């Protein structure tokens, strides 16, 4: 497997952290150039603080963090309850041991991409505000982007409205700008995320194991599972993890090429992704994956980080 140069744009967020852990467990596959933050699950400064605390706990203060947009392009931020008051409830984190870089997220990504000798992949785990601003302000980056793998949207479901997923709903204008940028996009919509889960046994395993990353995962996933437990579920979708899983194991996913347009507004339609399978479309939508395989790889990855 070719080692990818990778940027992660995120709003941590429990599932964002799981995606970051999966990335850190595979240095043979990823050279992580940095992580950028954006308003989403919680306010931008809060999710940045969550990220800095997590990386401090993990001893990875070497990873550059850059702060991004404090709101969507046009709409106001709407923090989510699912991640608790801090946006990352369930674990007692240390104070952040380092600061974000002085450049903002858009400048940081532009410099990382333009200074790279190889094309750069972007994993987008949050509203697409930073990415849209990057592509609009610095179109020269487009030919140096390998692909943008987005957790967002849905083919015919929703978690905000009947047909709208949170990351796209939060900034539909940015999402549309990214979809029409011409850059190769891979969408991990709600449908495929359900193949990327943790279950009660995983959570118990991590809680009982007294090692550092296992404790972090046990605490965070136990909190995150609360929402599903109240509804009688025994496995819990770790949405953002689908992006990194796809980059690591593309052969375990099924999808189709086509186009995607985003509905900007409407009481029932804001953030709806209109995904149309058609030949020659530059947007690849993932639909299915090998759930048991991916679950086993995630357990393994957390063990690897603690080895
Ligand atoms: C997405 O919304 C956020 O709450 C999660 O972190 C994920 O990126 C799922 O709809
Ligand atoms: Ca997220």
Instruction: Name the class of domain 4-194+237-290.
Output: alpha beta
Which ligand 1 atom is nearest residue 15's CA?
6
In the chain, domain spans = 4-194+237-290
What's the whole-model pTM score? Answer: 0.97
Ligand 1 atom 10: residue of nearest CA: 166
SS3 203: helix
- Is pLDDT of 40 > 80? yes
Cα 81 to ligand 1 centroid, rounded to whole Å: 11
What ranges in the chain are assigned the alpha helix state H? 14-24, 44-57, 105-114, 129-137, 166-170, 172-179, 190-193, 200-208, 212-229, 241-248, 291-306
Cα 41 to ligand 2 centroid, rounded to whole Å: 7
User: What digits encode the pLDDT tens for the residues 127-163?
Assistant: 999 999 999 999 999 999 999 999 999 999 999 999 9
Number of neighbouring beta carbons within 10 Å of residue 291:
14
User: What digits encode the pLDDT tens for the residues 255-296?
Assistant: 999 999 999 999 999 999 999 998 888 999 999 999 999 999
Which ligand 1 atom is nearest residue 159's CA?
10
- Is pLDDT of 1 > 80? no
- pLDDT band at residue 83 using 50, 70 and 90 as cut-offs: confident
| Those residues with Cβ within 8 angstroms of residue 216's Cβ, 6 or more apart along the chain or in another chain | 17, 21, 54, 57, 58, 91
- Is pLDDT of 198 > 80? yes
Tell me the C-alpha distance between 17 and 253, whole Å: 22
Find out whether 259 and 275 touch, Cβ atoms under 8 Å.
yes
SS3 243: helix
Tell me the C-alpha distance between 262 and 180, whole Å: 10
Locus of tokens 């009947």: 162
Find out whether 70 and 43 touch, Cβ atoms under 8 Å.
yes
For residues 82, 84, 89 and 95, what is the CA-based torsion angle, rounded to 10 degrees? Answer: 130
Before 13, cis peptide (omega within 30)?
yes
- Identify the pLDDT of residue 77: 82
Q: Which of 198, 162, 171, 170 minimizes the C-alpha distance to 291?
A: 198
Over range 72-97, report the average pLDDT: 90
* Contact 206 CB / ligand 1 (< 6 Å): no
* Contact 13 CB / ligand 1 (< 6 Å): yes
Over range 62-79, report the average pLDDT: 94
- Is pLDDT of 81 > 80? no
- Identify the pLDDT of residue 248: 98
- Identify the pLDDT of residue 25: 98
- pLDDT band at residue 67 using 50, 70 and 90 as cut-offs: very high
- Identify the pLDDT of residue 280: 81
- pLDDT band at residue 39 using 50, 70 and 90 as cut-offs: very high
Report the run of H or E that residue 119 belongs to, with start and end.
none
Tell me the C-alpha distance between 291 and 307, whole Å: 24
Find out whether 189 and 154 touch, Cβ atoms under 8 Å.
yes
- Is pLDDT of 86 > 80? yes
292: left (phi > 0), else alpha (psi -120 to 50), else beta?
A: alpha
- Is pLDDT of 79 > 90? no
């Amino acid at each position: 497997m070719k080692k990818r140069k990778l940027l992660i744009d995120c709003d941590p967020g429990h599932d964002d952290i799981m995606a970051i852990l999966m990335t850190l467990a595979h240095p043979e596959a990823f050279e992580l150039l940095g992580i950028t933050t954006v308003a989403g699950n919680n306010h931008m400064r809060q999710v940045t603080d969550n990220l800095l605390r997590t990386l401090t706990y993990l001893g990875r203060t070497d990873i550059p963090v850059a702060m991004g947009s404090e709101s969507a392009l046009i709409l106001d931020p709407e923090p989510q309850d699912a991640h608790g008051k801090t946006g990352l409830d369930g674990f007692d984190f240390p104070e952040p041991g380092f600061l974000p870089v002085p450049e903002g997220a858009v400048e940081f990504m532009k410099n990382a991409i333009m200074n790279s000798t190889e094309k750069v992949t972007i994993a987008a785990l949050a509203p697409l505000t930073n990415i849209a601003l990057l592509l609009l302000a610095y179109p020269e980056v487009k030919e140096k982007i390998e692909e943008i793998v987005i957790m967002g949207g849905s083919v015919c479901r929703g978690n905000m409205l009947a047909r709208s997923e949170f990351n796209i709903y939060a900034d539909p204008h940015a999402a549309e700008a990214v979809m029409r940028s011409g850059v190769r996009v891979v969408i991990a919509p709600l449908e495929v995320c359900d193949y990327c889960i943790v279950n009660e046994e995983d959570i118990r395993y991590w809680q009982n194991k007294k090692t550092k990353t296992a404790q972090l995962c046990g605490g965070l996933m136990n909190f995150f599972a609360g929402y599903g437990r109240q509804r009688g579920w025994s496995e819990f979708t770790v949405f953002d993890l689908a992006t990194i899983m796809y980059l690591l194991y593309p052969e375990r996913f099924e999808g189709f090429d086509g186009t995607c347009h985003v509905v900007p507004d409407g009481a029932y339609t804001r953030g709806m992704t209109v995904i149309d399978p058609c030949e020659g479309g530059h947007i690849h939508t993932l639909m299915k994956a090998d759930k048991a395989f991916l679950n086993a790889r995630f357990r393994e990855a957390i063990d690897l980080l603690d080895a």
